[in-house]
Amino acid sequence: MGEDGESPKINHSFLRDYVTEADVISTVEFNQTGDLLATGDKGGRVVIFQRETEPKGESEELCESGEYNVYSTFQSHEPDFDYLKSLEIEEKINKIRWLPQQNAAHFLLSTNDKTIKLWKVSERDKRPEGYNLKDEEGRIKDISTVTSLRVPVLKPTDLMVEVRPRRIFANGHTYHVNSISVNSDGETYLSADDLRINMWHLDITDRSFNIVDIKPSNMEDLTEVITAAEFHPHHCHMFVYSSSKGTLRLCDMRESALCDKHSKIFEEPEDPGNRSFFSEIISSVSDVKFSHSGRYLLTRDYLTVKVWDLNMEKGPVETYQVHEYLRSKLCSLYENDCIFDKFECVWNSTDSVIMTGAYNSFFRMFDRETGRGVTLEAWRESSKPRAVLRTRRVYTGGRRRRGDVGVDSLDFSKKILHMAWHPAENIIAIAATNNLYIFQDRVNPENQ
């Protein structure tokens, strides 16, 4: 009795806090309909979630509840070893991209540092029964026992999800692959590493076209690397890539086979007042995303997110401060390596809201129409299922409100790097270390 009464008081939080490195989620991606959500982790595994559809009692139509349950799990990449260079190749999944659905099966591309794989995810809910030569367990029957012939019949079985690798695109990259992007033509995709971008055909694994090469002939002259790349959502000949110097280059593949020369270059002149030792690091773009309309670009550097208009190269049209209070702490962030964190950024489906991650399990959303930003938290302790997320604030001066978090009490080990926004609805998936949070806007579930 006494023991039973005491057991709820035992603090098991230390078990929860113990995170295996391999379980850390490294990428999150919705498919084109939003029914499937894929996550990749550092251990090379991919977990696919499927949205539950449950009929609502009152209305006659099927109402999607917004709950995602595990659909399939598979090991995508294994740790590898490059014998020529004596280098280990991490199995961490850097990016997952879904292909547009063409038949009953789903296809996704997953990549680690070196190899890209195309996976086919298919369902099987029927199986043939009544073979003549095999029994139910598959054992070959003795011919003498067969007295009559019958045609096997398909019978429904429990749903089985099969995942098979269909293509393996290997040996295309010398450096670490950081991005993959499926082209709007549905046949090709690009993969980008630090110095080169290759274009592949989805059906051809032994050849790829190199479309960007910024490797200098003398590596000592290296000044910038490619940090992210993406195809235009509508124009299959256009793509953009970002660099560690904070520039964006828009390239048109119709101009030449090798797109080293950009069509447009987007860069903002540096503010001389903010110059420090770390100016170059914090100007490095960690993620770039086309808007759904294809008119704008969204970029994330260490302290800001910026919206660029493709028609204006001289600077961003909007700049949002994500965590400006960290500018004075750059030296300590450099020491603990946090300054190298690569945050992702996402658009909502109507391109009216942008979202990105920060530290202390915080993530930020900015409404482009009002210019205002809100801070939310993805943390188990403070959010119960179906509870409303309350906004958080980092105290940077002025009147301190209850619940404000001081800059020095931010937990820099809890970083929100990876996230995804549902392509049609206000549902977001946030990866916080080894946990996946899915939030839904109940007030405005559909985008106006």
Partner 1 sequence: MEYKVEAHRIMSISLGKIYNSRVQRGGIKLHKNLLVSLVLRSARQVYLSDFYSGACLNEQSEREGKEWDLIESEREKFPPATEECDHTEETRQNDQPPINETVEKADDEEVKPDAEHCTPTPEEQSQNSSSDLADSVSSESPVPDAIKQNQESPTESTNATLGESSQPQKTHVCTNRKRGAEESAREDAPQKRTKVTSSNASDDEESEEMETGNVSNLITIFGSSFSGLLSKDGAKPEAEAEDSDSGSGQICCDQMLKNLNPWSTAIVAF
Shortest Cβ 26–partner 1 spacing (Å): 12
Could you say whether residue 329 binds partner 1 (CB under 8 A)? no
Is 208:220 a contact under the CB 8 Å cutoff? Answer: no
Query: Which range touches partner 1 (CB under 8 A), out of 206-214, 258-266, 332-340, 405-413?
Result: 332-340
Contact in structure between 198 and 258 (CB atoms under 8 Å): no
Nearer to partner 1, 89 or 389 (CB): 89
DSSP bridge partners of 188: 201
Rule CB under 8 A: say whether 220 interacts with partner 1: yes
In angstroms, what CA-CA distances link 108 with 189, 244, 311, 327? 12, 28, 32, 38
Residue 287 lies near partner 1 (rule: CB under 8 A): no
Among 394, 397, 386, 318, CA closest to 354: 318
Task: Report the nearest approach of partner 1 to the CB of residue 350 (Å).
Answer: 33
165 phi, psi to nearest 5 deg: -75, 125
The verdict on 399 binding partner 1 (CB under 8 A) reads: no
Cα separation values, 353 from 233, 333, 340, 360, Å: 18, 28, 26, 22
Q: How far is the CB of 304 from partner 1 (least distance, A)?
A: 17
By CB under 8 A, name the one of 23, 54, 78, 88 that touches partner 1: 88
* Distance in Å, CB of 251 to partner 1, minimum: 20
- Give dist(CA 152, CA 322) in Å, integer: 62
Q: How far is the CB of 335 from partner 1 (least distance, A)?
A: 6
Structure tokens at 109: 């591309």
How many angstroms separate the CA atoms of 179 and 229, rounded? 6
Closest CA to 367 of 307, 410, 423, 446: 307
Between 223 and 382, CB nearer to partner 1? 223
Interacting residue with partner 1 among 35, 194, 230, 301 (CB under 8 A): 194
Is 230 among the residues that bind partner 1 (CB under 8 A)?
Answer: no
- Alpha-carbon gap, residue 342 to 287, rounded angstroms: 7
Q: For residue 335, state whether it binds partner 1 (rule: CB under 8 A).
A: yes
Q: Is 331 in the site for partner 1 (CB under 8 A)?
A: yes
90 belongs to the binding site for partner 1 (CB under 8 A): yes
Among residues 267, 280, 367, 441, which is the contact residue for partner 1, using CB under 8 A? 280
> Which residues have a Cβ under 8 Å from the Cβ of 307 and sit 6 or more positions away?
296, 297, 298, 316, 317, 318, 319, 354, 368
Interaction site with partner 1 (CB under 8 A): 82, 84-85, 87-90, 92, 113, 175-176, 194-195, 219-220, 222-225, 227, 244, 277-278, 280-281, 284, 331, 334-335, 337, 340
